[in-house]
Amino acid sequence: MSAEDSTQKTPTPSATVLLAHGSTDENWLAPFRTMHQDILQQTPGQRVELAYMELAEPSLQSIIASLVAEGITRVDILPLFFAAGRHLRKDVPAMLEAIKAESEIPLTLNLHTPVGLEPEISSAISQLVIRKVQ
């Protein structure tokens, strides 16, 4: 092994968590579960989990705990929210800070912008509305 080979870094084990608000209504939860299954089928080899902020399981905290137990130290949290309201500006960041503070190992928890702010989503909704009003 050359000196160059010995300095190459192993990629940090990572995962993506799809974060939905949560509900006690199974009808509300079903589309998220279906979407998660579709994503898993289209992303072989990638770790993608579904979690809820509140009112449903698995919780964000429990999913991250299980990932950490498997040695995953970098988690990207992708909110399945329409916009960045109070939950995404205050509640979820506070949850993530608490998770990091309680962890015995350093964690990288990246909270992304909500999917509703992505241009493709806005465009798709606009097109749907235009079609419905014409």
Report the CATH number that the domain containing residue 50 is assigned in CATH.
3.40.50.1400
Asked if residue 4 belongs to a domain, the reply is: no
Asked if residue 1 belongs to a domain, the reply is: no
Which is higher by pLDDT, 12 or 87?
87
pLDDT at 7: 54
Q: Which residues are paired to 18 by β-bridges?
A: 50, 78
Asked if residue 2 belongs to a domain, the reply is: no
Q: Give dist(CA 95, CA 118) in Å, integer.
A: 24
Q: What digits encode the pLDDT tens for the residues 32-81? A: 999 999 999 999 999 999 999 999 999 999 999 999 999 999 999 999 99
The total number of structural domains that make up the chain? 1
pLDDT band for position 8 (50/70/90)? low
pLDDT band for position 9 (50/70/90)? low
pLDDT at 13: 86
Burial class (CB in 10 A: 0-12, 13-18, 19+), 65: middle
Q: Which domain holds residue 112?
A: 10-133
pTM: 0.87
Q: Are 71 and 15 in contact (CB under 8 A)?
A: no
